[in-house]
Structure 1
Amino acid sequence: MKEKVQKFGRFLSGMVMPNIGAFIAWGFITALFIPDGWIPNEKFGELVGPMVTYLLPTLIAYSGGKMIHGTRGGVTGAIAVFGVIVGTEVPMFLGAMIVGPLSGWVMKKVDEALDGKIPAGFEMLINNFSLGIIGLLLALFSLTAIGPMVAWAITALGNGVKVIVNAKLLPLASIIVEPAKVLFLNNAINHGVFGPLGIEQVQEVGKSIFYLIETNPGPGLGVLLACMFFSKGEERQSAPGAIIIHFFGGIHEIYFPYILMQPLLLLAVIGGGAAGVFTFQLLNAGLVGPASPGSILALSAMAPKGGLLPVLIGVAVSAAVSFAIAAAIYKMGHAKSTLEESKQTMDSLKNKPKQHNIDLIIFACDAGMGSSAMGATTLQKKLNKAGITIRVENHSIEEIPLDAKLVITHQSLQARAQERVPQAEVIAIQNFLSAPEYDQLVERFTRKV
């Protein structure tokens, strides 16, 4: 069960991590140029809305579709995600995480159904039209079905938070708030739930704890610090920069991918968030207005006169609790991972075959759609006719799978293909439609059968 959860988390993270640079760019623009930013600029600040509404969800959906079915899946996901973008009022990160992989899967199934049935020379025409039609249908489905479903989920989460608040169990709100934040529903919860409650409380007592629940940077800071000290690889290298953007810039979205990579870290932010809220309650902390963005600088600016220390203590407590839990999770998780990797390496060395069996042949051309598609169709038919069960796929040179063992490409592209996959056997041909190398390959694999 744990392995399935981690695999699911890695899949979600895989949609976000390739686009972390875009999140950083948006984070800097937000932190710098919005009215409450470091150097407010109305013109530059106009970039914030379109980027978070259109660019980031589209990139996530593209990446999700691409993970399932390469570039075709990615493009289909990018088309389909506009259905949820235009159908709701909040940024559709969660919708993109649903629509992207779904679109890639649908496109993959359609391509599998068409595989071997396309007449030679019509590959590009049929591939383009099939993608366009599937993208159209999925965009309509996203607009009418997935968008309303995600909107309902957001409303349900907001109502759940209200129930906890009304029951006077405010620290327990973190059980809903922190996981919802990681699904990029932070703005919906903050402005849709805590904003109105905060306004009402400020009018009554002059300050509100509701402005500190979602905007508290402590839980995310704790996770990023633990990542910096106890993680490894890309996570560890990128954590220091993420800390600056998160804690001082107030862009909490920057730490969400780290949790998606290790879902157990949800326990860290929930624990840190609950500890922070409890501390805020204990010290009677609150803000006089919303802290936007959720930066320690914004929180300090919104603290009432004489009320800054309780706010800082609450943030520090939440960061410490989150750090302690995250550190334990990283130590536990990475130690086990290292052991498993070592065992797998040993097993692979012991059982390493002397020669790789070929079960996939890659055709590659510049675009991955025209000549390579014709060549793939022609060779696949020859292999099928000979009773050889080897799959043939077509890709662009830049999209050749890194684990490819046999690649066929035009002579003019041989060097680029070899550079992309130096370990692979690269066969150079002159004519994708009727190369003599096709029959040679059929004979070669027939001898092995």
Structure 2
Amino acid sequence: MTTTSPKPGGLKVGVQRFGTFLSGMILPNIAAFIAWGIITAFFIETGFTPVGALGGFGENADGVANVGLVGPMITYLLPLLIANTGGRMIYGVRGGVVGTIATMGVIVGSPVPMFLGAMIVGPGAAYLMKQVDKLWAGKIRAGFEMLVDNFSAGILAFALAIAAFFGIAPVVTGLSNALESGVDWLVNYNLLPLASILIEPGKILFLNNAINHGVLTPLGVQQSEETGKSILFLLEANPGPGLGILLAFSFFGVGLAKASAPGAIIIQFFGGIHEIYFPYVLMKPMMLLAAIGGGMTGVAINVAFQAGLRAPASPGSIIAVLAQTASDSYIGVIVSVIGAAAVSFLIGSIILRSSRKADLAAEAAGEDKLAAAVAQNEANKGKESSVGSLLGQSAAAPATAAGTTLTEAPIRSIVFACDAGMGSSAMGATVMRNKIKKAGIEGVTVVNQSIANLTGDADLVITQRELTDRARQKSPNSNHVSVDNFMNSPKYDEVVALVAQQNGK
């Protein structure tokens, strides 16, 4: 018996998929952005320890201008890494090589760092290589495969590099300049805080990657190269709004929401895993106003102080944010985090206090809406949970499509899947591995992956509720479990019991 379900779709899933693809090019290379930010912080002329040979200013002993590391890294290294990653996502190593070569054309043909160009040309060139290979697949004489493969890739890469230089570079340069002018216009007219109206709800619905990695990061790096910092890196990464919401639940929440919020604060604020506060907002949608208010406050303060980061802060931990803060922006950034947290706490507290009577009544009736998200279910509260509920067929799990059935085969592989394949899903996988080990179950692998990298061979896929539809599309023959919180879902004990039962324990 296999798992079947209707194919979900819609605009939200499409935007999520597009955002996941963009973040799939950026996130694996965040370490390179961080390295570039550290080099910039220390060695440029206004850095902590200026060194001309490394920072790219002044002249060497022979009177030749120093090139340094900062300029070549942002001009060549970072875009080429993005292009190679995007090409590999489309067509493996072969796609990565062709995409990297083609991207050199758009880099050399533009006066600005070509991050947008790399995100377009890299995967685009890989896709063309894939289509070209299909033309003579199975038609090459034995012994000539390597010759044809090498020359076809080389010739196509040559042609695409030239085309990118003359055709794509001017277009992407114009687009990049237009986007930068739009951001400058918002800053000049003090309208940049309005971006939080889109960004904060987008975070909750996992739709922010398309904006963050498609626009904000490329433009932010370009601004940072020109001015040494960018406010754009703080539009989404500021941990203040989430901190304020969790603090509001810590003081004025009820039941399990109140009990679990303090622990969630540590993970969100210091660990940088913003996803952990999403269920708190989803259980009470009015809390979106707190997130938006906090986000707008943080942006407004950073605009007023002209504060910014040198490079992206990923994950959005206060530690990562402060590590990337420009030397003249510490006061502004710290005040923006405090201000964002204070405003979101204030608004969230008003919302929770106004609904406290209804929340207490619901809790007394056993209707705690966050029970499935943050409850520590070690003793299971004496409540029985069926396999149907585990697989999301109950009315309480609308994001899991009907028609799902459970296979009777042993469960040997479990995958925790999220947007980026790291952060929250990695923590969830660790929790599950520990539970399976304590249960004495052997022969079961538990890993974390991005949804884009699901191969369809996992026996069981665990995702956050908002992402289950996409996971089912990528791995239709797997069993799927939806949870609201990777860190502490009551369904984990049920999964362990199910695995034990299916594996004959």
Q: 1:323 to 1:132 in 2, by over 3 A?
A: farther
Matched to 1:85, the amino acid is I
- Contact 1:164 1:170 (C-alpha < 8 Å) held by counterparts: yes
- Answering whether residue 170 of structure 2 is matched by residue 148 of structure 1, we say yes
**Structure 1 residue 151, shift from structure 2 partner:** 1.1
Determine whether 1:214 maps to 2:236: no
The amino acid of 1:9's aligned partner reads: G
Give me the whole-angstrom Cα distance separating, in 1, the residues matched to 2:345 and 2:112.
30
Residues 189 and 213 from structure 1, CA distance in 2 versus in 1: closer, same or farther, beyond 3 angstroms?
closer
Cα separation, partners in 2 of 1:319 and 1:158, compared to 1, 3 Å? farther
Tell me how far 1:185 sits from its aligned partner: 0.7
Name the residue aligned to 2:50.
40
**Larger relative contact order (Cα-Cα within 8 Å, sequence gap ≥ 6):** 2
Identity over aligned pairs, percent: 43
What is the CA distance between 1:136 and its match in structure 2?
0.8
The one-letter code matched in structure 2 to 1:2 is K
Distance 1:69 1:349, change over 3 A: same
Compute the displacement of 1:60 (Å). Answer: 0.9
Task: Give ranges in structure 2 of 5+ residues lacking alignment.
Answer: 1-10, 56-67, 200-210, 247-259, 261-265, 275-288, 312-320, 348-369, 375-389, 411-453, 458-505
Q: Does 1:98 pair with 2:108?
A: no
Matches within 5 A, 1:189-338: 189=223, 214=231, 217=234, 219-222=236-239, 274-279=296-301, 285-286=304-305, 293=310, 302=328, 312-318=334-340
Which residue identity lines up with residue 350 of structure 1 in the other structure?
Answer: T
What corresponds to 2:413 in structure 1?
A: none
Q: Distance in 2 between matches of 1:7 and 1:175?
A: 21
Structure 1 stretches lacking a partner, 5+ long? 196-210, 231-235, 244-254, 256-266, 326-330, 354-400, 405-449
Alignment match, 2:86 = 64
Alpha-carbon shift at residue 297 of structure 1 (Å) = 8.6
Is 1:28 matched with 2:22? no
2:95, 2:127 within 8 Å by CA — same for their partners in 1? yes
Q: For residues 3 and 38 of structure 1, do their structure 2 counterparts lie closer, same or farther at Cα, with a shift above 3 Å needed?
A: same
Deviation at 1:27, TM superposition (A): 2.8
One-letter amino acid matched to 2:88: K
The partner residue of 2:407 within 335, 350, 358 is 350
Q: CA deviation at 1:32?
A: 2.7
TM-score relative to the length of structure 2: 0.47
The CA deviation at 1:300 is: 8.6
Partner of 1:12: 22
Q: Secondary structure at the match of 1:88?
A: coil
Q: Tell me the residue number matched to 2:149.
A: 127
RMSD, matched Cα: 5.0
Secondary structure of 1:350's partner? Answer: coil
- 1:177-192 pair list within 5 angstroms: 179=212, 182-189=216-223
Report the equivalent of 2:387: none
Residue 440 of structure 1 corresponds to none
What TM-score do you get using the length of structure 1 for normalisation? Answer: 0.52
Give the corresponding residue for 1:53.
75
Question: Rg bigger for which structure?
Answer: 1
Q: C-alpha deviations, 1:324-349, integer Å up to 9, x for none?
A: 99xxxxx9xx99x9959x969x9575
Counterpart residue type for residue 144 of structure 1: F
Alignment CA distance shift 1:124-1:34 (3 Å): same
CA separation of 1:75 and 1:187: change in aligned 2, threshold 3 A: closer
| Residue identity matched to 1:11 | F
Q: Distance in 2 between matches of 1:402 and 1:161?
A: 39
